[in-house]
């Protein structure tokens, strides 16, 4: 990660549920501007790790440092304001509203730096909405009711709604789940456009997609970080091969 500023660090982060250790002394860090993929067999602890980072679950021991602050001591309601945005597997768009109306709502809740900047120049909000729509490939669907979007388009709308909040860190859990091969390719292109502009942690099981987007891949197994590196490095790692075969 070179000389980029460290944005997030989990240090010996551990969580157990009724004695079952789902995340086990995990050391994991991400630099500002990184697009990090988190992979691992089912039950490895990937979703739980995202839960810990966004405050949905609490660590039982260890630390989570975000922008130099120990955020594991925060309550969840503060987390969103902290600058961490999360996309869950089930989309949460307003199905009765159009793409444009969804984006308008997305851009207006929790006004942040972005919003305030653009309030000063009249009409610039529309410009920003259109820019977001273009970024996620929904520029021709602005007047489409969200209920009529394809599965992939719905996911992209939700990604746009998260981007509208301008979070410093974006967490996504299996964004390509249920997508067609074409939609998955479009999503890889979208992520490549986001590269460098945002910091993302993306949990994925589609290795083709991961290869298309990731610089560094972190592999989890049984709650721990098993390996980290490029797609080629981790695919040659004997421990990684064993973890996938043994699951």
Site residues (CB under 6 A) for ligand ADP? 17, 20, 22, 40, 42-48
Give residue for tokens 């509203």.
Answer: 97
The one of Mg ion, ligand ADP, none whose footprint includes residue 137, by CB under 5 to 8 A per kind, is none
State the number of binding residues for Mg ion (CB under 5 A).
1
Distance CA 208, CA 185 (A): 9
- Closer of 90 and 113 to ligand ADP (Cβ): 90
The dihedral formed by the CA atoms of 152, 157, 158 and 164, expressed in degrees to the nearest 10: 150
- What x/- string results for residues 8 through 47 when contact with Mg ion is judged by CB under 5 A? ---------------------------------------x
- What x/- string results for residues 151 through 190 when contact with Mg ion is judged by CB under 5 A? ----------------------------------------
The one of Mg ion, ligand ADP, none whose footprint includes residue 17, by CB under 5 to 8 A per kind, is ligand ADP
The one of Mg ion, ligand ADP, none whose footprint includes residue 64, by CB under 5 to 8 A per kind, is none
Q: How far is the CB of 20 from ligand ADP (least distance, A)?
A: 6
- Closer of 106 and 223 to Mg ion (Cβ): 223
Residue 57 within binding range of Mg ion, rule CB under 5 A? no
Tell which residue, 34, 35, 75, has the closest CA to residue 54. Answer: 75
Pairing of strands 169-173, 200-203: parallel
Q: How far is the CB of 43 from ligand ADP (least distance, A)?
A: 4
Q: How far is the CB of 95 from Mg ion (least distance, A)?
A: 25
Compute the C-alpha angle 77/79/82, nearest 5°. 130
Inter-residue contact 15 to 25 (CB < 8 Å): no
The one of Mg ion, ligand ADP, none whose footprint includes residue 3, by CB under 5 to 8 A per kind, is none
The one of Mg ion, ligand ADP, none whose footprint includes residue 48, by CB under 5 to 8 A per kind, is ligand ADP
Work out the burial of residue 163: count CB atoms within 10 Å of its CB; fewer than 13 is exposed, 13-18 middle, 19 or more buried: buried
Distance CA 85, CA 168 (A): 8
Q: How far is the CB of 22 from ligand ADP (least distance, A)?
A: 3
Pairing of strands 61-66, 169-173: unpaired
The one of Mg ion, ligand ADP, none whose footprint includes residue 40, by CB under 5 to 8 A per kind, is ligand ADP
Compute the C-alpha angle 123/128/134, nearest 5°. 135
Distance CA 93, CA 147 (A): 9
Residues near Mg ion, by CB under 5 A: 47
């Amino acid at each position: 990660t070179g000389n980029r500023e460290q944005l997030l660090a989990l240090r010996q982060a551990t969580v157990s549920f009724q004695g079952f250790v789902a995340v086990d002394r995990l050391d994991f860090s991400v630099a500002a501007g990184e697009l990090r993929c988190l992979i691992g067999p089912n039950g490895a602890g990937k979703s739980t790790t995202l839960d810990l980072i966004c405050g949905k679950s609490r660590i039982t021991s260890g630390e989570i440092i975000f922008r130099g602050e120990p955020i594991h001591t925060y309550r969840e309601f503060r987390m969103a304001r902290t600058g961490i945005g999360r996309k869950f597997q089930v989309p949460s768009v307003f199905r009765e509203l159009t793409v444009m109306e969804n984006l308008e709502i997305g851009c207006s809740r929790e006004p942040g730096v972005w919003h305030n900047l653009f309030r000063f120049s009249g009409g610039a909000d529309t410009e920003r909405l259109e820019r977001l729509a273009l970024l996620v490939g929904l520029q021709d669907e602005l007047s489409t009711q969200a209920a009529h979007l394809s599965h992939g388009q719905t996911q992209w709308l939700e990604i746009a709604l998260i981007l509208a909040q301008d979070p410093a860190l974006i967490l996504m859990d299996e964004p390509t789940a249920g997508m067609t091969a074409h939609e998955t390719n479009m999503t890889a292109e979208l992520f490549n456009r986001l590269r460098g502009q945002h910091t993302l942690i993306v949990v994925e099981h589609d290795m083709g997609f991961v290869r298309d987007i990731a610089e560094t891949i972190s592999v989890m197994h049984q709650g721990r970080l098993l390996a980290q590196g490029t797609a080629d490095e981790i695919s040659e790692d004997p421990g990684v091969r064993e973890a996938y075969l043994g699951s």
